[in-house]
Amino acid sequence: RLFYNNEKISILKFSKILYKRLNKSFGYKFLKNKKCYLCNNFFFNLFKVINLIIDRLEFYEFFSISFGTRIPEYLIIREDHIRSKYEINYGASLKSFINTNISKILSGVLNKKIDLKKPDLKVIYDLDKSSLEIIPSNIYIYGRYLKLKRGIRQTRQYCKFCKGSGCNECNYTGFTNDPSIEGFLLKEFRDRFLGEVSIFHAAGREDLDVITVNTGRPFIIEVRRPLKRRINLKELEEFLNKVNEGYVLIKNLCYVDRKIMEKINVFSKYDEKTYRLIVKFNGEIDEGALRKIEEELRNRVIIQRTPLRVLYRRVDKYRYKMVYDVKANKIAENLVEFIIRCQGGLYVKELAHGDQGRTQPSIFSITGIPLEIISLDVISVAPELEKRLKIG
């Protein structure tokens, strides 16, 4: 494909000055070299480079672009030597000149915005190797998921035979076939955006036997090196909810940037969460004991040593988490529902049974009555998150 542009490409200011000074100093005209001492004949091949860029960009959807160059060190040394020797202290550097002018040309030809901070595509040309690298920026989609059925993992589990490298047992996926929120979502996001890979990030996690309802749990899907940048998220949301009906429901999908993902990862450790916990006491529990539990745990800092059940994969340390409020409701003689509003990161099951004294205080330590956990539901996760981060 031929490239044509009416704009004349100006030469470096300091090159003009250098040419005049050399002629004045030596009194004769210099013969043309086969290769430019400073730019390695880059400007003689300019149209060829631009046509190469345009051809390579044909497969990408993008709305903004930036152009950069890799200049070999020996050319930088040559440029510095010329500037120093002939006292040239103004004019753009070779790198800056190339980047600025090619950016203008690409913007005009492609009718795309130049964005040096957060471009959809970065185009980098290596002067030494005469090679081109195109780097599409990652896409981030925010949403919330509701886990509607117990027994579903949040993230995929590595194959026990190959530990994730891929084998015949897992059909070379590296993962088991166990259902997971991550498994329900990732492939469809990757395929829709024609990305190389998609990654699941969630604001905290729930156990296998826990459901997440009402507000749902915030999550972000990161799609790396996508060819497409804009799809109908509402249509994707409806499709995923239909094929995963009864297992998971997603809502509020919208585009965000990386900063939102980073903030959510931090906030998930502290943001408010509300749980519905149902326990069965191994003995009679009266209303007085329930009121005592409410009073003892309300606005209380809970000291938790890493639970025994996760000690094999978590460092053994103490955590300090806040319980803001507890409401107890007796639903049978020894069956009680607790609504617990607390800080993110609190191990709620351990708050109930005490984990052999590793969580203090606990419902068990307050009542002295052994108990069994019947069910645990997440009913609210960071309800003000969207408003606080201005999402959607």
Question: What residues contact residue 300 under an 8 Å CB cut-off, 6+ apart?
Answer: 322, 323, 361
| Residue 69 backbone phi and psi in degrees, to 5 | -130, 150
Residue 3 has pLDDT above 50, yes or no: no
pLDDT tens across 208-257, in order? 999 999 999 999 999 999 999 999 999 999 999 999 999 999 999 999 99
Average pLDDT estimate for 79-90: 87
361 prior amide bond cis, ω within 30:
yes
Residue 58 has pLDDT above 60, yes or no: yes
Distance (Å, whole) CA 107 – CA 276: 55
CATH code of 370's domain:
3.30.70.3190
Q: What is the pLDDT of residue 14?
A: 45
Looking at residue 306, the DSSP 8-state letter turns out to be -
- Full residue range of the structural domain in which residue 351 is found: 272-381
| Domain match, 262 and 303 both | no
The alpha carbon of residue 73 and the mean position of all alpha carbons in its chain are separated, in whole angstroms, by 34
| Domain match, 120 and 218 both | no
How would DSSP label each residue in 163-192? TTS--TTTTTSSB-S--BHHHHHHHHHHHH
| Domain match, 218 and 281 both | no
Residue bearing the bigger pLDDT, 370 or 174: 370
Question: Domain total for the chain?
Answer: 3
pLDDT tens across 278-320, in order? 999 999 999 999 999 999 999 999 999 999 999 998 999 999 9
Nearest to 135 by CA among 219, 45, 56, 27: 56
Measured at the CA of 206, the angle between CA 351 and CA 212, to 5 degrees, comes to 105
Q: Is residue 130 part of a domain?
A: yes
Q: Is residue 388 part of a domain?
A: no
Write down the catalytic residue from 207, 257, 316, 355. 207
Q: What is the pLDDT of residue 18?
A: 52
> 135, 150, 168: which is the final residue of a domain?
135
> 268, 302, 333: which is the final residue of a domain?
268
Catalytic residue at 209? no
| Domain match, 296 and 371 both | yes
For the entire predicted model, the pTM comes to 0.85
> 114, 135, 156: which is the final residue of a domain?
135
| Domain match, 216 and 259 both | yes
| Domain match, 319 and 346 both | yes
Question: What single-letter amino acid sits at 9?
Answer: I
| Domain match, 290 and 368 both | yes
| Domain match, 149 and 75 both | no
pLDDT tens across 118-156, in order? 999 999 999 989 899 999 999 999 999 999 999 999 999
